[in-house]
Structure 1
């Protein structure tokens, strides 16, 4: 019984990760669960708001840097 039990355990240990890897790499699963969930959490309208915010912050940083350079001149 010892060898049969070890063979069963080894098969189980190898089957589980291989199966999970196979399931998680299915393109349909990825599209359905990951991409749609991402769009649900961060809709495209929010992306525009985030980009505008980044642009404002970048301009503020440039103005601070320009002001600091002008004061040092």
Structure 2
């Protein structure tokens, strides 16, 4: 019984990580599920929304226009 149990445990210990690695590296799943979910959470901005954005350099935080520290 002891040897059979150890073989079973070793099989589980090796099968689980290999199966998770195989599932996580499926390109079709990634493209179908993850990219679709990302677009649902963060939809692409419309052109008229982007044109109203004004860039203001973060001078109030002690940074110059390039984002480098002034001190």
TM-score, normalising length: structure 1: 0.65
Q: Does 2:17 correspond to 1:17?
A: yes
Runs of 4+ in 1 over 3 A off after TM superposition: 62-66
Give me the CA root mean square deviation. Answer: 3.0
Higher alpha-carbon Rg: 1
Counting matched residue pairs gives 61
Unaligned runs of 5+ in 2: 66-71
Q: Report the 3-state secondary structure (helix = DSSP H, G, I; strand = E; otherwise coil) of the residue aligned with 1:61.
A: coil
Unaligned runs of 5+ in 1: 67-73
Distance in 1 between residues matched to 2:8 and 2:58, nearest whole Å: 64
Residue deviations 1:2-30 (CA, integer Å, cap 9, x gap): 01100110100110111011011001110
